[in-house]
């Protein structure tokens, strides 16, 4: 069946844009390529302006969530919270690089579960780099732990990843049902990720690291910022349990925390606002437009028909295949647009819950393969570049190829075992 020229043009532009986000030609920021792709679709008349504007507007909850998290992160960083955490982590490691790695992985797991994977990327990563600097340890294994646990632990709770809310269309299962479906797969994914990463980075984790004295007490501004982070975690659990959007509460929590800290320290807002990675917002907006253009080609409707037919024949096999395909597809187009496509497909196909759960595992865990597979990993990359570190596409892929597949296999297998 021939493909219409307009459809072919949409696929070509979207493919080129996502390739630019992944490969970053000329080392231009990821947002440049996503926005350029959206602009090309508009200029070529492949998507109407009203549809593009509506697509951008649909991301409002994601934008608010990210702004709130970035406000919390930057406020905590400027108040020395990360240095304080780093000092305690290094002291608890007692000179063991391997123990420091385990501590970082454990803290990252908790932050991801209760504050989301994006929070691990923007809140924890600077603290981990500070810990490595204090311990005079190689920072890369510790930074990789932040990046990979941010996705491996991102389906323990509904709030652990905004993509969870996207995939379920804002209607989450009760918390008890969620834990019954995902507790075992999450545990398997976390353990597999830890073991595989520890093995891959074993040469960098031998030897001793520096032992440091107890850090100075946290400042009043730091205590306020840390309190705001904990309060945000509690707030998100409450909001999620009530099946409400997370964006506005996160934004308000971040804004209120920042305002209180600035009032207590009598500081100005400009240094804080300059430190925020605002480019992530046009990146997300551009991706929403790309997904809308793809949806208008009829591809999602075709996917929904195929999914419905296969799920009716063999739900377990369909779940395994769909989750695996989506996991790898998330690395080709980023898991945010992949999750949006999957969400629309699920809404049209109405497959069994097992299939939807497998898709969620794929969209959450799959991005551990490549450096731009998820928004959290892009935020992580931005955070480590700010500290003078950088990880290229092939360097991350080398680690991800050893870590992601076994974790995905075990997580999907665990969910299928539960039936």
For residue range 140-182, list pLDDT tens digits in order.
999 999 999 999 999 998 878 878 877 876 566 777 888 999 9
Confidence of residue 135 (pLDDT cuts 50, 70, 90): confident
Specify which residues 48 forms β-bridges with: none
Q: What digits encode the pLDDT tens for the residues 373-413?
A: 887 888 898 889 888 888 888 899 999 999 999 999 999 99
% of the chain at pLDDT higher than 70:
98
- Please give the Cα distance from 383 to 57 (Å, whole number): 26
Q: What does pLDDT average to over the chain?
A: 88
Per-residue pLDDT, 328: 94
pLDDT tops 60 at residue 1: no
Specify which residues 96 forms β-bridges with: 208
Per-residue pLDDT, 325: 96
Q: Is the dihedral of CA 328, 179, 410, 353 positive or negative?
A: negative
Per-residue pLDDT, 172: 67
Length of the chain measured in residues: 419
Helices 81-93 and 125-135 sit at what angle, rounded to 10 degrees?
50
206: domain range?
5-418
Residue that wins the pLDDT comparison between 11 and 24: 11
Domain count, the chain: 1
Cα dihedral angle (250, 256, 262, 263), rounded to 10 degrees? -170
pTM here is 0.85
Per-residue pLDDT, 82: 78
Q: Is the dihedral of CA 5, 6, 11, 15 positive or negative?
A: positive
Q: Is there a contact between 36 and 14 (Cβ–Cβ < 8 Å)? A: no
Per-residue pLDDT, 251: 93
Q: What digits encode the pLDDT tens for the residues 277-312?
A: 788 899 889 988 998 898 888 888 899 999 999 999
pLDDT tops 70 at residue 271: yes
- Please give the Cα distance from 285 to 156 (Å, whole number): 27
Q: Is the dihedral of CA 52, 53, 58, 59 positive or negative?
A: positive
Q: Is there a contact between 242 and 210 (Cβ–Cβ < 8 Å)? A: no
Closest among 78, 17, 74, 70 to 42, alpha carbons compared: 17
Q: Is there a contact between 301 and 348 (Cβ–Cβ < 8 Å)? A: yes
């Amino acid at each position: 069946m021939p493909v219409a020229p307009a459809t072919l043009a949409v696929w070509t532009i979207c493919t080129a844009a996502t390739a630019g986000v992944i490969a970053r030609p000329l080392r231009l920021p990821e947002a440049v390529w996503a926005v350029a792709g959206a602009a090309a679709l508009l200029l070529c008349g492949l998507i109407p302006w009203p549809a593009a504007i509506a697509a951008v507007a649909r991301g409002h909850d994601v934008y608010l969530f990210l702004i709130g998290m970035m406000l919390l992160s930057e406020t905590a960083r400027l108040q020395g919270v990360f240095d304080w955490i780093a000092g305690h982590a290094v002291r608890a490691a007692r000179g063991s690089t391997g123990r420091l790695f385990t501590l970082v992985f454990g803290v990252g797991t908790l932050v991801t579960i209760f504050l989301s994977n994006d929070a691990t990327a923007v809140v924890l990563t600077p603290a981990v780099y500070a810990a490595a600097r204090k311990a005079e340890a190689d920072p890369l294994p510790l930074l990789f732990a932040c990046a990979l646990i941010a996705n491996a632990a991102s389906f323990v709770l509904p709030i652990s990843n905004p993509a969870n809310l996207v995939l379920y269309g804002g209607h989450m299962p009760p918390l008890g049902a969620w834990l019954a479906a995902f507790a075992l797969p999450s545990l398997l994914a976390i353990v597999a990720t830890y073991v595989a990463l520890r093995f891959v980075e074993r040469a960098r984790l031998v030897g001793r690291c520096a032992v440091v004295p107890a850090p100075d007490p946290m400042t009043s501004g730091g205590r306020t910022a840390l309190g705001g982070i904990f309060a945000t975690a509690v707030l998100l659990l409450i909001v999620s349990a009530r099946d409400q959007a997370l964006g506005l509460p996160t934004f308000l929590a971040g804004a209120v925390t920042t305002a209180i800290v600035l009032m207590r320290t009598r500081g100005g807002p400009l240094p804080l606002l300059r430190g925020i990675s605002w480019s992530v917002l046009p990146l997300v907006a551009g991706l929403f437009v790309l997904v809308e253009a793809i949806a208008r080609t009829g591809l999602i409707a075709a996917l929904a028909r195929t999914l419905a037919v296969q799920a009716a024949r063999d739900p377990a096999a369909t779940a395994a295949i769909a989750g695996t395909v989506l996991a790898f597809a998330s690395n080709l187009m980023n898991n945010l647009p992949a999750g949006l496509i999957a969400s629309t497909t699920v809404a049209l196909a109405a497959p069994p819950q097992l299939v939807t759960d497998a898709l969620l595992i794929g969209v959450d865990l799959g991005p551990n393969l490549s450096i731009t597979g998820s928004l959290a990993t892009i935020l992580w990359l931005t955070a480590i570049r700010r500290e003078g570190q950088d990880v290229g596409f092939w360097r991350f892929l080398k680690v991800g190829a050893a870590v992601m597949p076994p974790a995905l296999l075990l997580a999907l297998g665990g969910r299928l075992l539960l039936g």
